[in-house]
Amino acid sequence: MTEIHSNLELARLTGIVKWFNNKAGYGFVTALEGEQKGKDIFVHYSSIGGDNQQYRFLTQGEYIDFSLVKSDTEKYEYLAKKVTGVKGGPILCETRRLQFTEKRVVERKPPVVAPEAEQSREDGFVQVKPKSRGRPRKVAV
């Protein structure tokens, strides 16, 4: 695959993810404003901002902000770069990870342990042994 490079940022736009293939690491965003309104813009996973320790991806229907950049190749006219959540917020894959870690960090209370009994025969308590069930019954056929 050829590298796509360009440094000329044309505008910062809001768009909606049309589709994104997690395995291939790319997809398309439909611009919701500006001169490119309604056009599909190519987005590569390397353009998605966020935590570098986690695999970044976009979710179909997710609203995002991105920088519109003119492509150096003939394959795509424009590219989406510096992708973030709306108004610089987190993208859905980041919020999902936060929710997952919050669920795992829930403090657990120690188990309730009954105090040891200090009861004896003198107090009227007698140890009860379980009943034996005897021989198994024969079933009439």
Into which CATH architecture does domain 9-104 fall? Beta Barrel (2.40)
Instruction: Give the start-to-end residue ranges of the domains of the chain.
Output: 9-104
CB count within 10 Å of CB 6 equals: 14
pLDDT in tens, the chain (141 residues): 444 444 577 889 999 999 999 999 999 999 999 899 999 999 999 999 876 667 789 999 999 999 999 988 889 999 999 999 999 888 888 776 555 555 565 566 777 766 666 655 566 666 666 676 667 667 676
> Which is it for strands 40-44 and 63-70: parallel, antiparallel or unpaired?
unpaired
Contact 83, 91 (CB under 8 A): yes
